[in-house]
Amino acid sequence: MTHPFVTTVNPSTGAKLADYPSMERDAVIATLAEVTDAQISWGALQVEVRADHLRAIARELRSQRQLLADLMTAEMGKPISESMAEVDKCALACDYYAEQGPQALADREVMTEATRSWVSHEPLGVVLAVMPWNFPLWQVLRFAAPCLLAGNAGLLKHSPNVTGCALAIERVFRDAGLPANVFRSLVIEESAVPETTETLIADSRVSAVSLTGSERAGMAVGAAAGRAVKKSLLELGGSDPFIVLADADVELAAAAAVRSRFLNTGQSCLAAKRFIAHRSVVDQFTELFASGVDILVVGDPTRATTQIGPMAREDLASDLRRQLASSVADGARVRTRRTIEQSGGAWFTPTVVDAVTLDMAVMREETFGPLAAVFPVDDDAEAVRAANATPYGLGASVWSRDTARALGVGRQITSGALFVNAVVASDPRLPFGGTKRSGYGRELGSEGAVEFTNVRTYVVGGGSVHAGAGTE
């Protein structure tokens, strides 16, 4: 079946950006063969040599900063200041793994009865990455930097609406001197993505798969990897709680709430989405929160002062409008006062609602855009119950002047990360990932360095059968 073009569209204006020829099955398989061949020599290099390549990629990212930022802003509407910061963070991740990764991958000696025994982290081979549109560079680089350092090769299937970014990443790697075919991007038309992904996962030349995306996509990829008995890493949705305890600095918490919810126009899996505040402070918090949202600068994402741009696609904005309308019909109250002048289908007015219940769409579902819900609770125990009333478990933040109290509350919440008096964010130095239906596996930090490795045991005997031989 022929899939001629992938078309990208500027969500800010609705104008077409580019048409990219879609790869047919034979071209995809040929690319996989080239990447497989390249991985053999890449994996044989010393880790310090691969680290030098990461340093070169970091330099190239910084050199092409403006070009890459402009492309992200055009393809998915990210405010240009945030696009610039995303490029910087990608370069930082490469530098981090170049400096710290070799130590995490180093052989670890273990004292046993043998003459020598040790644990080694060796490359798996070719790793398929299925990546989302919301952070078009960062999602890929946080996968690619440790994956490449470990000696694997990468095969990227990016979201079709950021195809230009996918090809730009491959170009940056090539310009930085990465050997040919160690990292390649596939251009696949949307309707062909499920079949192509399953075909690749089933292919013996693909050793593992990493996906960041929706719960539905994660279930499909996880099932395919399970059938093929291959390692998978899934970073899926989130509906992070942001808990304001009775003794919190409410002004500080409200200002942080605006940053946490509305970064990237609210299109982030780790953004706070459910704001749970003690009844004694909820009115003050909601008023400050809504007032802070009302003064956000909404408009042309290419302007340096813009804080909120369009959503990445019209269908995403339409789904968010459905969630808001459903919740308002059920009794939710809109607390923000602004409206936006843009008329395009991808635009959504940043909105805060309260008077919500746990069964409303804004609390029950993941809201992936500039929409926040505030929910009152009577005590810390109720805050914990509300925080855990979700199938997701990515991040959580707790706000209190008493750190011990905040940690006590936070430890009762199921999540992959807990932030106290701080906005949840990923950091190259710390592991990142979720639990429950937010996925499994860890990226970043030393854990991310070894995630896609064969943890191999080596034992050298002393010429005699040691105790315990013959047991499992």
On whether the CB atoms of residues 187 and 94 are closer than 8 A, the answer is: no
Of the residues 90, 189, 269, 451, only one is catalytic, namely: 269
Residue recorded with tokens 């490029």:
87
**Quick check: is 235 catalytic?**
yes
CA pair distance 178, 49, nearest whole angstrom = 11
Of the residues 82, 86, 170, 235, only one is catalytic, namely: 235
Cα angle vertex 65, ends 394, 297, to 5°? Answer: 65
Per the document, the length of the chain is 472
CA pair distance 311, 368, nearest whole angstrom = 9
End-to-end CA distance of the chain: 50
Strand partners, 454: 122
Strand partners, 231: 208
Residue 158, CA distances (Å) to 67, 152, 197, 226, 434 in order: 19, 18, 11, 22, 21
**Beta-strand (E) ranges in 268-357?**
272-278, 333-334, 351-354
- Positive or negative, the Cα torsion across 68, 38, 231, 48? negative
74 SS3 class:
helix
Comparing C-alpha atoms, which of 224, 223, 184, 210 is closest to residue 451?
210
Ramachandran class of 125: left when φ > 0, alpha when ψ lies in -120 to 50, beta otherwise: left
**Quick check: is 269 catalytic?**
yes
Residue recorded with tokens 């970073």:
235
Q: Which residues contact 353 (CB under 8 A, 6 or more apart)?
A: 324, 327, 328, 332, 333, 334, 335, 362, 371, 372, 373, 374
Q: Just list the catalytic residues.
A: 235, 269
